[in-house]
Homo-oligomer: A and B are copies of this chain.
Amino acid sequence: MWFSEYQTKDLKISVKVKDVLFTGRSKYQEIQILDTVTFGRALVLDNTFQTTEKDEFIYHELITHPAMFTHPDPKKILVIGGGDGGTIREVLKHDTVERVDFVELDEMVVEVCKKYLPTLSCQIDNEKVTTIFTDGIEYVAQCKEKYDVIIVDCPDPVGPAKGLFEKDFYKNVYKCLEEDGVMVQQTESPIFNRDLILNIKRYLEDAGFNIVKLMVYAIPTYPSGFWSFTLASKKYDPLEVSPEKIRERLKNIETKYYDEDVHRGVFLAVPKFLKENIPVF
């Protein structure tokens, strides 16, 4: 049995599936858990791969650690989206963290991931975590809290997630960060979504962030395999954090992908066509 995702209308990825472990529809989307041969269990929302047991460590380590290590002492963290729990798990590897507010729109995603993806969702019930089932866009608009780090672990900019890629959202994220706060967001494919990425960068700069930097890396199950995060910071430059400092803090943190070289590499490897807006696709 095969599962196919149309990554665009002209490009399809197909994976062999051993079993369909769950299929259901929440208020917001169709939710599936597939047991695939190549990637282990996979969370699929509206026929789109979100994460898989095998490749999730790439995504979750890189959305979390470059931002967390850019901040010298991250205590209070907001995670928007990421209902599978992988980002929460990585955040809690930092023993500086005192509190994580976890804002997820779709309660059913969290319930399903708790049951079927325990290696990702294992820390959602940690006592430091407060889970709030609401719209992240609304949450930051209303929020009076100030965070050290905000991680926007969002799906593609369609449906309810669209507003997570718009101007007002970034202004509100800025407002919800301390004076030395850092934010990071999933920002799609450098090849297929170049314009979106360049817009996000401009919106973040307009919102007041002094430092806005893209990261690039590869995720096998995402369209084009080539993917990005964008980090925005009020004070600290991720490239000015010393490798020694990162190595020191990493002593208590187990990773499979991230280290002090990767920290610099994912920023430096950003292709020229993104920096100079050269059309390539």
A→B interface (CB under 8 Å): 2, 4, 8-16, 36-38, 54-55, 57-58, 191, 216-220, 222, 224-227, 255-259, 261-262, 264-273, 275, 278, 280-281
Contacts and interface: CB of A to CB of B under 8 A. Distances in A.
5 residue pairs, one from A and one from B, having the closest CB atoms: A225-B225, A265-B269, A265-B268, A218-B226, A10-B16
21 contacts: A10-B15, A10-B37, A11-B16, A12-B13, A57-B280, A218-B218, A218-B224, A218-B225, A218-B226, A218-B227, A219-B225, A219-B226, A222-B225, A224-B225, A256-B280, A259-B272, A259-B275, A262-B269, A262-B270, A265-B269, A265-B270
B273 A256 contact: yes
Given A220-B225, A265-B265, A257 B271 contact: yes
Given A11-B16, A12-B13, A191-B220, A273 B261 contact: no
Nearest to A6: B14
A208 to B, nearest CB: 25
Copies in the complex: 2
A237 to B, nearest CB: 14
Contacts of A36: 10
Given A218-B218, A220-B226, A268-B268, A38 B8 contact: yes
A44 to B, nearest CB: 15
Contacts of A226: 218-220, 225
Contacts of A220: 191, 224-226
B272 A258 contact: yes
A169 to B, nearest CB: 27
A268 B278 contact: no
